Structure 1
Amino acid sequence: MTDNAHSRIPVQLKRLPHGHGLALPAYATQGAAGMDVVAAENITLRPGSRHAVATGFAVAIPEGYEIQVRPRSGLALKHGITVPNTPGTIDSDYRGEVKVIMINLSDDNFPIQRGDRIAQLVLAPVTIASWDEVEELDETARGAGGFGSTGGHGAL
């Protein structure tokens, strides 16, 4: 990948004492959108349980950006381990330790070892909305149709 292929946004990262010796978040392949992030603790997620897994670092995200926390597809498919608030958002003004809320949706205990890849982090631009309150909204073909209203048979 050339330096011109993608823009690179510098993000300050502070390694915390319990994060020393761990890999920093990193892109696994040239085309990866998310950086793999690893656990900084050992824990066993029991079936149905949740835990905010420590990563051992804090960040200073540039204003106008967020970091989205997303599950790893392999953990979700093979083990039923996911991030329940996906995508989770780390705001640019947060300076505490990055933690990944994980949940075990399987029927088996799932051990997480220090250094295991647990999630993906995606740096994303933030668009700030400004509300324009109106008396009426424009009409569309869909109108007020909600959940499943645009699908055919079997739509959710």
Structure 2
Amino acid sequence: MSDSFAKQIEVSISLSGNAQMPNYATAQSAGADLCASLSEPVVIQPFARALIPTGVRIALPEGYEAQVRPRSGLAFKHGVSCLNTPGTIDADYRGEIQVLLINLGDKPFTVTNGDRIAQLVIAPCSRARFSQVAHLDETGRGTGGFGSTGL
């Protein structure tokens, strides 16, 4: 990994079956590729979804999360993306990372063992201390929601 990243952390990984280690494709990649760990191919029909195992389990340090995000190439070329995006993996989760894929394309999509199916981004996270108040401070935007700031 490049020295240009502000901070590197140690993440312990356990692999099962024919799983592959997450891999950063380039020296400046923010996300490490997650690969399918399958004993046989999975066909995802148009507008259907499938939970794809990776065989990867991780132990994150306290104060960090892992986010499972779509791969842009799959979305652009095949209309395949991740549901529940970004999927959040908490620091205390020790189960297998699985990726919920959806085929928004017009043709069946086949996932085979070793296919790069998602990206894993490790990020620091903060916890809020929620305080109930009678009124919130006013802002220029106020209660303007969807589409209120333009097209």
What are the equivalent positions in structure 2 for 1:116-135 lying under 5 Å apart? 116-135=115-134
Query: How many pairs does the alignment contain?
Result: 149
How far residue 4 of structure 1 moved from its aligned partner, in angstroms, is 6.2
How far residue 3 of structure 1 moved from its aligned partner, in angstroms, is 3.8
TM-score computed with the length of structure 2 as normaliser: 0.93
Letter in 2 for 1:8: Q
How far residue 104 of structure 1 moved from its aligned partner, in angstroms, is 0.4
Once superposed, what is the RMSD of the aligned Cα atoms? 1.3
**Unaligned stretches of 5+ in structure 1?**
none
SS at match of 2:93: coil
Misfit runs of 4+, over 6 Å: none
Residue number in structure 1 paired with 2:10? 10
SS at match of 1:97: coil
How far apart are the structure 2 equivalents of 1:32 and 1:24? 15
Letter in 1 for 2:75: A
What are the equivalent positions in structure 2 for 1:1-156 lying under 5 Å apart? 2-3=2-3, 5-16=5-16, 18-19=17-18, 22-41=19-38, 42-151=41-150, 155=151
Contact kept in structure 1, 2:2 and 2:28, CA below 8 Å: no
How far apart are the structure 2 equivalents of 1:48 and 1:36? 24
Write the deviation string for residues 78-107 of structure 1: whole angstroms up to 9, x where unpaired: 100000111000111111111011000111
TM-score computed with the length of structure 1 as normaliser: 0.90
Letter in 1 for 2:117: I
How far apart are the structure 2 equivalents of 1:77 and 1:12? 32
SS at match of 2:65: strand
